[in-house]
Every structure is written in structure tokens, then in C-alpha cells.
Amino acid sequence: MSVSNILSKLKQINDSNLVTVYVPSAEKLLSFKPLSVKQQKDLIKSGLDGAMAGITITNVINQIILDNSVEKHDFLVTDKYPIILSLRRQSFGNLVKIKEEEKETVYDLDEILSKKLTYSQEGSAIIGLANTTLKAHLNLVSLEEDTKINNIQVEKTRKNKDEEISDTVGSLFVYEIVKFISKIEIDEENIVDLSTLPVKDRLTIVENLPATLNNYILDYIHQFRKEENDYISVNGNPLPIDARLFTKE
């Protein structure tokens, strides 16, 4: 049997072994192909990327979701956890053992996946600064946009190897905020669509926003993060979403 025939047979097996997941942004069940060995390798490899490991694994997960989805859908960053945990559960079982220092914690993915991840606030919002006409238009980020901004961030960080840790952390903070701001409204006649601007210019604009308005934006982002954290928690302990999740002892 030729390599092409083997690959064709493997594709048929994968296509008949789909994982069905409730996707928050779609508000329905969608189907995904299972993880491949290459994808597992990329997930584990992300753990070797030092300070950039968190961003690297985010990009790998984003691409897996896009590649493995059977149906066409504009996936958002808020869809990731139920999808990737369902794929992990199918490939390696429901139990995850995470060892930190001398303590080992066992997480049951069935307990997490038995919950439906829903969010208490809308995916878009307009937040204004009191006593001004300044407003920020906020939207949840697509996986494609998330990866795009992450890649720019990683490239910049790797070029500036001598940058202080504090500067790197500060950059991470601003990049995350930039992702969620779609427009800045100075007044009714001056509305800037940030999606039309280079990321560098978007960063500059966000860095010059009043801190008070930025705090409101952070409250919006943190509410989504809190509900995601609650979703992946077992007995109050949040499951670490890192390379360790994709190994099998």
C-alpha cells in the first residue's frame, strides 16, 4: 500500500471518529476531527518556548481548532476551552495529573465538560468615559485575529532579547487589551476603526487612552476570564492549560 493510500485511509478513520462539542459562540454542538500525533507534538513542544510558552500554545490551540473543525464557523477566543479539552479527553482519557513542586493534582475532564460554558455578558459592548464623548467599542476576538496579534508580539519580543522582564510583561498587558478594542470614538464625527490600522498604531492609540477608561475595558475582559476560570476549575483548582495537559503517563 502506498503512502498516499495509507494517508487516505487514516483520513477516513479520523473523519468517522469525530468529537462533538458545544461551542459558546455558535450556541450549538459542532463536530471536530481528533488530535493528530503532529498536533500533540506541537502542543508539547510549546512548553519549551520559555517566556513565550503561553502565547505559543495559544497559537497552536487556535490552529488546531480551525484545522479540525468539520463545519465552517468564525470561532472566538472564548470558544477554546470546551473544544480543546474535549479533543484532549478523546485522545488521552478523562484524567489529567498535574504535578507542581511535590504536589500532584488529578483533574477529571468529565467533571469540567459536564458543564456548559456560557457567559453573562454580551460579546460586544460600548464603554464610555464619564463627562467626555470618548468611547471604546469592544468585541470578542476571533481565533485568526488572536493568532495574528500574538505572532507580532512574539516576533517583537524575540527581536528585543535584551528587553527587561518588566517591559515584556507590560507589552503583554497592552497587546491583550488591543485585541478587544474594535473602534475608538472621540466624538460622533471621529470614529477610528482600529482593525484597519497596523498593530503598531493600535498599540500607540491604546497606550494613550485614559487609565480610567482602560480600567473599564479590563473589567469587561476580566469577566470573561473569570467565567472561563470557573469553567476549568475542579474543587476550586483551575486546570493549567499548558503542555502538560497533552502528555499521557
Contact 81, 231 (CB under 8 A): yes
Q: Which of 97-101, 152-156, 241-245 has the highest mean pLDDT?
A: 241-245
Helical residues (DSSP H) of 122-207, grouped into ranges: 143-159, 165-180, 199-207
Q: Which cell numbers hold the place of 86?
A: 474535549
- Using 50, 70 and 90 to split pLDDT, how confident is the model at 62? very high
What's the rounded Cα separation, in Å, for the pair 184 and 88? 39
Query: Residue 247: pLDDT above 90?
Result: no
What's the rounded Cα separation, in Å, for the pair 141 and 238? 23
Task: Report pLDDT digits (tens) over 84-133.
Answer: 999 999 999 999 999 887 788 899 999 999 999 999 999 999 999 999 99
Mean pLDDT for 46-75 is 91
What's the rounded Cα separation, in Å, for the pair 78 and 24? 7
Query: Residue 158: pLDDT above 90?
Result: no
